[in-house]
Amino acid sequence: MEDNYPIKRIIDDQGYLVDTGFEKQIDEQLVQDLYYHMLRIRTFDRKAINLQRQGRLGTYAPFEGQEAAQVGSALALKTGDWVFPTYRDHGATITFGKSMARTFLYWNGRVEGCVAPQDRNIFPPAVPIATQLPHAAGAAWAEQRRGTQNAAIAYFGDGATSEGDFHEGLNFASVFKVPVVFFNQNNRYAISVPIEKQMNSETIAQKSVAYGIPGVRIDGNDCFAVYFETKKAFDNARAGNGPTLIEAVTWRKGAHTTADDPSKYRPEKQGEDIVDPLARLELFMKNYGYWNAEWIQATKDKTSSEVDAAVEEMEKYPPPNLEDVFNHVYAEMPAQLVEQKESYLAHLGRR
């Protein structure tokens, strides 16, 4: 079955085109957009880890190594589309337009961190595994019934394909031919469980057969393959042909979260042979005349300044209203929570 779903690539590990059919579709603007956003979210990611280690941020889920998958797919979106992320897809949501400062706030446990810009349809990150897939199918169905050209994308990891929500989301989307792209980032581990121990299927893409929808397997570290295949899936969805399942085979360099120790379950040198997605794009730029040292340095300076400004904005936010822990959850607060809230307010001298 794996032979039926070969990994599609446009550039190889050395940055050379292996599918020349896309050569005319790649221009300087696309190359620079991909590079800028990939560098920007990597800078964000590394800063977030440092902030967590300094006690300035809560537990954090890093994504370094998955920049091509997240940026390439997010750049294929249109402004009115819907994004349903997991807790690790903040690179995609930032690329789509979410504020970096608010994303930092999310990782500090602030409700403000779930607020998207008014002109972007970005759901709060889904921490329960796969619950966002039926939501994405539902939003896409709503857009279909409204007669718009808006579509949805649902991000999820390989472990999510073992959840019932995966079946429910894909089955519903298939039956009603709704405009949604199911974008799997196959990092080969469901937390500490390797993929071969959580499914017998040789690929995730082949699971599309059960739902009668297209399934494609791509090199998730090839930003061009991600961008063009995701764009193709969106074009197909907007044309009324229903959903697509994309399996982006990638590799996350770091831990599951900053509270995790991957050395407990991953072999020491595993992944060392995988070419970094940003480094691969840099090789492409040098091979095909897109490399501009001055622009690269200016982009590094710009992204660094943007991230620093976001940290400053995050840390200037007023202290959280701790009553939010109790409010806005129940229509009628249970007696136990009423007692706890009263005790808390008394401790603050407000009762």
**Which residue reads 């072999």 in tokens?**
267
Catalytic one among 40, 217, 256, 280? 256
Catalytic one among 189, 252, 280, 290? 252
Kindly provide the residue ranges of all beta strands, DSSP E only, lying in the chain, ordered along the sequence: 82-84, 121-122, 152-157, 180-186, 189-190, 193-194, 215-219, 244-249
Does the active-site annotation cover 252?
Answer: yes
DSSP-derived secondary structure letter, 181: E
Check: CB of residue 308 under 8 Å from CB of residue 301. no
DSSP-derived secondary structure letter, 276: P
Show Cβ contacts of residue 204 under 8 Å, excluding neighbours closer than 6 positions. Answer: 158, 161, 184, 186, 217, 245, 247
3 state SS of 193: strand
Catalytic one among 53, 145, 265, 351? 265
Q: If residue 27 lies in a helix (H) or strand (E), which one and from where to where?
A: none
Does the active-site annotation cover 56?
Answer: no
Amino acid at 15: G
CA–CA gap between residue 247 and residue 115 (Å, rounded): 28
Residues 338-346: contacts with CB within 8 Å, 24+ apart? none
Burial 160-189 (b: 16+ CB within 10 A, else e): bbebebbbebbbbbbebbbbbbbbbbbbbb
Catalytic residues, by residue number, are 252, 256, 265
